[in-house]
Amino acid sequence: MEGHPYSPKDLNLPGFVPNFLPPSTILGVFAAAFAIVFSVSWILPGLVSKTTKLERLLVCWFTITGLIHIIVEGYFAFSPDFYKDKTGFYLAEIWKEYSKGDSRYASFDSAIVSVEAVTAVIEGPACLLAAYAIATRKSYRYVLQLAISLGQFYGLVIYYITAILEGDHFAVSPLYYYAYYIGANSPWGFIPFLIIIRCWRKICQSEGRNKIKTK
């Protein structure tokens, strides 16, 4: 049995193959992809319709989070053997690296896989639809953003509660715990939360105005 760097040490991962790429390269490729997607999704809505800066930021958010859900999390949810990858495939490299912050990915924990599958298959495509709906000002744009953000928030809550219930001992060190397990997930804690509040208000205002006008 080959060794692995993950916590807990007695985790059984037969056939584990270590990372080929250093963390800096993995993060660098991710940052480059992020910058490209951000730029394109910032420019495109402006060509289609009149959008405010906030709306364009939201288009960027939903495009980026949607692509991460579909590509990065989608790969994970259907690749139980990613930790055996011998080709240096980038998406396997990401999850081998991230598992240092949460080994439940390497062990393909069923709660993690369930949440990731829902996120990849349902929320991912819905995010891209939301980006389109915001850019083209569809009447379902608020309710769709709300539904997605509630789902992302629910998934994150389950992610952390299951970890706490099982002892919260899945990170290699405090560095990985805070950088990966807490840090890398933090955007999905506060951004969906802000979007929920905004869309909730927009929907209630619209409902309230409607009530007055139809009287």
Q: Give residues in contact with its own copies (CB under 8 A).
A: 110-111, 113-115, 117-118, 139-140, 142-143, 146-147, 150-151, 154-155, 157-158, 161-162, 165-166, 200, 203-204, 206-211, 213-214
Q: Would you say 173 or 210 has its CB closer to its own copies?
A: 210
38 versus 198: smaller Cβ distance to its own copies: 198
- 159 φ, ψ (degrees, to nearest 5): -55, -45
Work out how close the CB of 214 gets to its own copies at its nearest, in angstroms, rounded to a whole number.
8
Of 12 and 87, which has the nearer Cβ to its own copies? 12
CB of residue 160 vs its own copies: minimum separation in angstroms?
Answer: 9
Residues near 16 by beta carbon (within 8 Å), at least 6 away in sequence = 2, 3, 4, 83, 84, 106
CB of 155 to its own copies, least distance (A): 8
Minimal distance, residue 126 CB to its own copies, in Å: 11
User: Is the dihedral angle over the CA atoms 196, 130, 122, 162 positive or is it negative?
Assistant: negative
Q: In terms of CB distance, is 18 or 80 closer to its own copies?
A: 80
Residue 114 C-beta: closest distance to its own copies, Å: 4
Identify which of residues 70 and 146 has a Cβ nearer to its own copies in the complex. Answer: 146
Name the nearest CA neighbour of 90 among 172, 32, 19, 17: 19
CB 167 to its own copies: min, Å: 10
User: 4 or 141, CB closer to its own copies?
Assistant: 141
